[in-house]
Structure 1
């Protein structure tokens, strides 16, 4: 997986105390039993982690997979890096 995916997993495990064994690219946030408020907080922390990327609080939904979230964040990082 990508560096963004690895960093996102690190946030989930280390900052939000999600069980590492429960995390995989095809696992949805619903599978982790997190709600939309959790996702807003995750995106705020991720925005700080991925400086310069505007991650907006509606970027990811509970039905998205962790892998999909990483892809969406990567796109926002790429957009922020473009002149």
Structure 2
């Protein structure tokens, strides 16, 4: 299974059109100009992919923190991540 951070990077570029040069571990969703609707949509995509969700109240979460949270939540749930769906 692909690492969580790599899946997030692909979703950000392919689904949301975020330029690759803006995606860094220390970038926040806020800095990437994700409004509440975009954060919700990303959260739903990540939940569909991994079966766990991001904290909803954290616009300031970094991509590294989000990946760590999702990885820990998947491990705590004792389940393997769901196969990644093709992003269109």
Pick the TM interval, shorter chain: 0.7 to 0.9
- Determine if contact 2:29/2:62 at 8 Å carries over to the other structure: yes
The Cα RMSD (Å) is 1.9
Q: Hey, what does 2:34 align to over in structure 1?
A: 34
CA distance in 1, matches of 2:7, 2:61: 17
**Structure-1-length-normalised TM-score:** 0.82
SS of residue matched to 1:40: helix
TM-superposed CA distance for 1:57, in Å, is 6.1
Does the alignment pair 1:61 with 2:54?
A: no
TM-superposed CA distance for 1:36, in Å, is 2.0
TM-superposed CA distance for 1:54, in Å, is 2.6
- Which structure's residues are more often helix, by fraction? 1
Q: Hey, what does 2:84 align to over in structure 1?
A: none
Instruction: List runs of 5+ in structure 1 lacking aligned partners.
Output: none
Q: Hey, what does 1:76 align to over in structure 2?
A: 73
Moved over 4 A (4+): none
Instruction: List runs of 5+ in structure 2 lacking aligned partners.
Output: 80-88
